[in-house]
């Protein structure tokens, strides 16, 4: 009886091992298969077998099964028991793929890329197609998470021939999203392969100007590349562009408050918007009609949209009021595409909602990007005490730390009389030694100061830095340090302070600015930022679909260089200037 049981156990073990391995290959080695056994059975058999290769195959199967069961911690423990360098190439690829999948499950794309940097992956084309697809997929995800978009697209293009149906369509959509996000200087196809075709399509679309130009360019590309996957089935964003081109914009609703606290802001936005409209007319274009609606009198957004639809409106620009924008962002969908002139907090809104504004948080992120591009890594921060300062600091911190920077000190500006002490605490001024021959010194782990402050506060802070033996510390500020008042004496104590600002205020010779300022002199001062935003809101109206379909596309606006985030918020990249003897000196642009 016992002998029969032993024979039965041996037969079961042989069957399980056979289920775990594919047919052997002369040089690549066998591959694990999804077994007809439980996790514990596989691990028990791995511990009982005296064959190291079979034990490794069983453990790889067990780790794979644990991943499929979403038991990633157990899978990691099992995989750690597999001696990678003792495996054959096919098994090494399999193990590296599992390690990469586990790394991505914990959002560690660096570890995933390290796992996939194994020499065995040079033979991936010799492996079964299901493993090729699995490995290319996780490799593409890791490259994308590391912002290596072209490498990610290359992985997806490599597995494309092995996909059919919905999987092929989804992969092609992902390739387009990747190449469309590449800057133009990286869209230089090296050959006539499939990936080169995707890149040439993206370059073709980005090189065209208007929607109609883009449609003509796409049609021409499809005629030249009839067998390419994108010619056979256009990516969804390009299909939507085609729909936009077939429906020209003929009527816009401008929804702004005509009374209340925001009336003066609204007037500046409206005047800028209409100035751009009249400029388009003077240039011989056929711009859409504009119809005005008073948001300060709204009793129901639903009633407004019904009226706008009845009036033939195709696009709404506004509202400005944050509570109304918040209402719109909480809806599942909107009856008319809307460009709100403010930002809601939290998650992305409906697909028909785009958001544009002059958020201080944008400028805080701009400071972080510029300082990082300038090679700095350790920051101090001075922001106003209160909710506004906390929001600005949070935006700076997120962008700064995401790029590897650290914040070594923070001071909250409150009472002017305390500024000198706050600056001293931030730079940790050390007094001279007892001999009296040494100069006082500041902390050396601080490379620059991020400053969000009014001109009056900045006028005190910069001279205090000089007095506290920290005059060599660079100061990177938001536009709030610049009042654009034209009073040069206001800035004489701010030498060396760098700040981001709208092109409108840094380019006084701009023809449209001169034309607008002649009619509304206040447009040359700090209100000019709102006039610039109104102009840019008008320029965005025909381009929202393009910006959404082509994420790397930029519009050179007067409030900044404009692009679209994945959450459909218009983001601004700003030029930089520096105070030099009371004058404003434009700094060279830096590519981020």
Distance (Å, whole) CA 56 – CA 49: 10
Q: Are strands 555-556 and 561-564 parallel, antiparallel or unpaired?
A: antiparallel
Q: Which fold has domain 251-355?
A: Rossmann fold (3.40.50)
* 417 sits in which H/E element: none
Distance (Å, whole) CA 316 – CA 322: 16
CB atoms within 10 A of CB 387: 8
CA angle 11, 12, 15 (to 5 degrees): 85
> DSSP letters of 10-37?
HHHHHHHHHHHB----TTT---B---SS
Q: Which parts of 332-444 fold into alpha helices (H)?
A: 360-373, 387-402, 419-427
Distance (Å, whole) CA 515 – CA 63: 69
Q: Where are the domains of the chain?
A: 2-146, 251-355, 360-586
Closest CA to 105 of 136, 71, 56, 57: 71
**Do 275 and 535 form a contact (C-beta atoms < 8 A)?**
yes
- Give just the sign of the alpha carbon dihedral 232, 236, 238, 242: positive
Closest CA to 557 of 513, 520, 499: 513
Q: Which fold has domain 2-146?
A: 1.25.40
Report whether the peptide linkage leading into residue 319 is cis, meaning its omega lies within 30 degrees of zero: yes
Distance (Å, whole) CA 184 – CA 203: 6
What residues form DSSP beta bridges with 441? Answer: 430
Is there a common fold for 251-355 and 360-586?
Answer: yes
**Dmax over Cα atoms in the chain, in whole Å?**
107
User: 297: helix, coil or strand?
Assistant: helix
> DSSP letters of 439-477?
PPB--SS--EEEE---HHHHHHHHHHHHHTT-TTS-EEE
Return phi, psi of residue 391, to 5°.
-65, -45
Write out the chain's pLDDT in tens, 592 residues: 333 333 333 334 333 333 344 443 557 778 777 667 888 888 888 888 889 889 888 899 889 899 999 999 998 999 999 898 888 999 999 999 999 999 999 989 999 999 999 999 999 999 999 999 999 999 999 999 988 999 999 999 999 999 999 999 999 999 999 998 887 778 887 777 899 999 999 988 888 767 778 888 999 999 999 999 999 999 988 888 877 777 778 999 999 999 999 999 999 999 999 999 999 888 888 899 999 999 999 999 999 999 999 999 999 999 999 999 999 999 999 999 999 999 987 777 899 999 999 989 989 999 999 999 999 999 999 999 999 999 999 999 999 998 899 999 998 988 765 666 777 777 665 554 544 545 666 667 789 999 998 888 888 888 888 777 667 889 999 999 998 876 767 777 888 999 999 999 999 888 999 999 999 999 888 899 999 999 999 999 988 888 887 776 788 899 998 988 889 999 898 999 999 888 889 988 776 5
**Do 498 and 576 form a contact (C-beta atoms < 8 A)?**
yes
Alpha-carbon separation of residue 173 from 153, 165, 176, 549, 568 (angstroms): 11, 13, 5, 11, 19
Which CATH number is 360-586 given?
3.40.50.2300
Distance (Å, whole) CA 400 – CA 394: 10
pTM here? 0.71
Distance (Å, whole) CA 400 – CA 367: 9
Closest CA to 328 of 394, 255, 382: 255
């Amino acid at each position: 009886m016992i002998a029969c049981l032993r024979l039965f156990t041996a037969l079961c073990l042989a069957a399980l091992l056979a289920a775990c391995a594919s047919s052997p290959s002369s040089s690549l080695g066998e591959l694990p298969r999804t077994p007809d056994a439980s996790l514990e059975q596989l691990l028990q058999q791995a511990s009982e077998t005296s064959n190291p290769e079979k034990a490794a195959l069983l453990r790889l199967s067990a780790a794979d099964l644990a991943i499929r069961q979403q038991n990633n911690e157990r899978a990691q423990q099992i995989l750690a028991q597999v001696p990678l360098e003792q495996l054959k190439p096919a098994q090494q690829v399999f193990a590296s793929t599992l390690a990469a999948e586990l790394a991505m499950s914990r959002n560690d794309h660096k570890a995933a890329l390290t796992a996939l940097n194994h020499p065995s992956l040079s033979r991936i084309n010799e492996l079964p197609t299901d493993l090729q697809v699995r490995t290319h997929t996780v490799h593409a995800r890791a490259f994308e998470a590391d912002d290596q978009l072209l490498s990610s697209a290359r992985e997806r293009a490599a597995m494309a021939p092995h996909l059919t149906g919905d999987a092929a369509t989804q992969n092609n959509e992902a390739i387009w999203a990747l190449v469309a996000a590449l800057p133009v200087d990286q869209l230089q196809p090296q050959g006539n392969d499939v990936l080169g075709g995707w890149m040439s399509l993206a370059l073709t679309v980005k090189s065209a100007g208007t929607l109609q130009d883009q449609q003509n360019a796409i049609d021409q590309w499809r005629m030249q590349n009839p067998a390419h996957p994108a010619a056979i089935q256009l990516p969804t964003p390009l299909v939507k562009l085609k729909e936009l081109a077939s429906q020209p914009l003929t009527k816009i609703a401008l929804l702004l408050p005509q009374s209340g606290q925001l009336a003066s802001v609204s007037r500046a936005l409206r005047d800028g918007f209409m100035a751009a409209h009249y400029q388009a007319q003077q240039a011989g274009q056929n711009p859409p009609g504009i119809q005005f609606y008073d948001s300060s009198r709204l009793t129901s957004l639903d009633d407004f949209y019904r009226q706008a639809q009845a009036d033939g409106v195709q696009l709404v620009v506004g509202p400005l009021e944050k509570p109304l924008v918040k209402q719109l962002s909480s809806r599942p969908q909107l009856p008319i595409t809307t460009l709100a002139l403010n930002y809601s907090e939290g998650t992305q809104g409906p697909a028909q909602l785009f958001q544009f504004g002059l958020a201080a948080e944008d400028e805080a992120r701009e400071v972080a990007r510029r300082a990082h591009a300038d090679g700095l890594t350790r920051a101090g921060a001075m922001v106003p005490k209160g909710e506004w300062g906390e929001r600005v600091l949070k935006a700076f911190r997120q962008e700064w730390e995401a790029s590897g920077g650290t914040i070594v000190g923070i001071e909250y500006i409150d009472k002017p009389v305390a500024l000198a002490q706050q600056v001293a605490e931030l730079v940790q001024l050390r007094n001279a030694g007892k001999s009296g021959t040494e100069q006082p010194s500041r902390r050396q782990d601080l490379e620059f100061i991020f400053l969000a402050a009014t001109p009056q506060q900045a006028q005190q802070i910069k001279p205090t830095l000089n007095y506290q033996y920290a005059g060599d510390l660079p100061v990177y500020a938001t536009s709030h340090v610049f009042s654009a008042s034209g009073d040069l004496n206001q800035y004489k104590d701010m030498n060396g302070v760098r700040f981001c600002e709208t092109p409108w205020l840094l380019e006084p010779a701009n023809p449209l600015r001169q034309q607008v300022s002649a009619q509304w002199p206040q447009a040359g001062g700090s209100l000019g930022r709102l006039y610039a935003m109104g102009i840019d809101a008008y320029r965005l109206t025909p381009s929202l679909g393009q910006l959404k379909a082509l994420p790397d596309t930029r519009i050179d606006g007067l409030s900044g260089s404009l692009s679209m985030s994945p959450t459909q918020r218009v983001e601004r990249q700003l030029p930089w200037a520096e105070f030099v003897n009371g004058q404003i000196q434009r700094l060279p642009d830096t590519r981020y």
